[in-house]
Amino acid sequence: MSHKKFEKNDVFHNVVVTHPEYQFFVYNQNVYANRESAVDGDFSNKIKHVPQGHISLHEINVNRPSGSLVYPFITKDGARTAFRTISTSNFQDSSQFSFGDTITGSYPLSASISRIYIPSGTDVGESAHTSKKYMRALKNPIESNNTLKSEFKYEDFNTKSVNMVCVPSIFYGSSIKKGSVKLDFYDDSTLIGTLEDTNKNGQLIQTYGSGSGDVAGVALYDYGMFLLTGSWSLNASDADNYFDASTTSQPSWLAFGSGINEPVAAASGSGQAVTTSPSFNVKMEGTNKVPTVTMLARAEKGELNFSTNPTFIQNGKSINGSVTPTSFSENGGDIKNITKSDYAGYESEYENTIYISEIGIYDEYKNLIGIASLANPVKKTELQDYLFKLRLDF
């Protein structure tokens, strides 16, 4: 065992950028994330306790009974910490939370793709639809992007209908990778339209079907949103209940994603689509930035010549030491000779030999904070030196 301090050029901090791929397939008002179906657990509920097409944050409470789920909690004390869902006034109200009370939350937290249909019409007054506020919130991102502004002017929101498809950031990380978006519209299993960002500038151009070459919407990569305005028919010979149960219409990009969870009710009818024959596919890649630290652990020549393994010492013997007021010394001769001989019945001359199986990482106060285990122990002699490359993702 030996302690060796990392030198200046032995520790590197960098960021690894990954692009995880995700697909959302929508059929018969069900969403399938990466074509996975919700699996039943052993306790009369779904194994992850989340609806179909949702992802579970931290994958907590997997295959547990509904009555014994893990949950977060905070004790009210002088630190004045609480969940973000607890307002300051409620936290200070002693009738709701007294010092020493436990404030609890709930798991699992889940998220999935959603859709908000924003009808055309005025944006002010009592006649304004509830969903208009979502477009007003996107004014700055749209107006600050000259490429998007040339095709998608904010002033047009008062007259145009907009189909907003929203992807939570848990799926894509810091942003959606530019040019990776692909939206497919199927009718009775037949592809009738495809949108892609072929120029990697946020403009979603139809590359297949009626209206090919036209811009049908824009992608806000940093916000996980696709704003679709293409109102032309993709299949004039068919119609379905894309917006509500009482009205039929021809398929268009305004109807894309019908059946996805809609947090805001539509403006007319029941506000719930009842389509069964169309299906939709959203394909994209995220941008996930992973901070990493790389450490170079050195095993120099002439170093690391002692082992803490009990088999390092010959059976039945021990290394005795002597202590004086100024020194401590060990008596040699009891360490097992494991030097391999090339000849049968002949014992080679003793040589310090160890096998490195683990590398411990210590902080500045000599506290063990991590252990790197080698898949196979590495033989180390006095004349050999090794350089071990350790990487840790945060």
**Distance between start and end Cα atoms, the chain:** 28
CB 240, CB 275: distance < 8 Å: yes
CB 251, CB 237: distance < 8 Å: no
* pLDDT value at residue 269: 39
* pLDDT value at residue 38: 86
Condensed to tens digits (0 to 9), the pLDDT of residues 325-376 reads 777 666 555 677 777 777 887 878 878 888 898 999 988 888 998 899 999 9
Averaged pLDDT for residues 114-130: 68
CB atoms within 10 A of CB 257: 30
Q: Where are the domains of the chain?
A: 36-111, 114-290, 293-393
Averaged pLDDT for residues 317-331: 66
Residues 6+ apart with CB under 8 A from 314: 334, 335, 336
Question: Both tokens of residue 308?
Answer: 């803490």
**Average pLDDT, whole number, for the chain?**
84
pLDDT band at 6; cut points 50, 70, 90: confident
Which of 83-87, 149-153, 187-191 is predicted least confidently?
149-153
The CA-CA-CA angle for residues 241, 247, 252, to 5°, reads 55
CA distance 33 to 113: 9
CB atoms within 10 A of CB 1: 8
The phi, psi pair for 297, rounded to 5°, reads: -95, 125
SS (H, E, C) the chain: CCCCCCCHHHEEEEEEEECCEEEEEEECCEEEECCCCCCECCCCCECCCCCCCCEEHHHCCCCCCHHHCCCCEEECCCCCCCCCCCCHHHHHCCCCCCCCCEEECCCCCEECCEEEEECCCCCCCCCCCCCHHHHHCCHHHHHCCHHHHHHCCHHHHHCCCEEEEECCHHHHECEECCCCCEEEEEECCEEEEEEECCCCCCEEEEEEECCCCCEEEEEECCCCEEEECCCCCCCCCCCEEEEECCEEECCCHHHCCCCCCCCCCCCCCCCCCCCCCEEEEEEEEEEEEEEEEEEEEEECCCCCCCCCCHHHECCCCCCCEEEECCEEEECCCCECCCCCCCCCCCCCCCCCEEEEEEEEEECCCCCEEEEEEEEEEEEEECCCCEEEEEEEEC
CB 353, CB 338: distance < 8 Å: yes
* pLDDT value at residue 313: 73
CB 32, CB 53: distance < 8 Å: yes
CA distance 204 to 181: 8
Condensed to tens digits (0 to 9), the pLDDT of residues 18-51 reads 999 999 999 888 899 998 888 888 888 889 999 8
Among residues 119, 102, 123, 108, which one has the least CA distance to residue 55? 108
CA distance 330 to 114: 71
Strand 327-330 to strand 321-324: parallel, antiparallel, or no bridges (unpaired)? antiparallel
| pTM > 0.85: yes or no | no
* pLDDT value at residue 268: 42
CB 123, CB 64: distance < 8 Å: no
Has residue 153 got a pLDDT over 80? no
Residue the block writes with tokens 């901070």? 291
The phi, psi pair for 7, rounded to 5°, reads: -80, 180
